[in-house]
Amino acid sequence: MLTINVAVLLTVIVILRLRRRTEARSRKDEKMTVVIVLALGVLLAPTPVGQGIQDILGQLTSSVTQAGR
């Protein structure tokens, strides 16, 4: 349960960081956002929510690949 709580906290942080204006961000700030998003991905991956997202993205990718043939 602790993983889900940290994931929710990181999700809120990412949303707040991404709502800011692009011009106001420094390169260091953008790198920090990337690190936070990667940490969120690592926390979500083993959960049922992460597995559901992976399944949906896998189906979307395969349908786009088949449509491109």
Q: How much is the pLDDT for 27?
A: 83
Q: Averaged in consecutive runs of 10 residues, what is the pLDDT profile of the chain (69 residues)?
A: 70 85 77 86 82 85 79
Three-state secondary structure call for residue 4: helix
Note the pLDDT of residue 11.
Answer: 85
Tally Cβ neighbours within 10 Å of residue 38: 10
- pLDDT value, residue 50: 81
Displacement of CA 25 from its chain's centroid (Å): 19
Q: What pLDDT shows up at residue 4?
A: 59
> What pLDDT shows up at residue 66?
81
- pTM value is 0.59
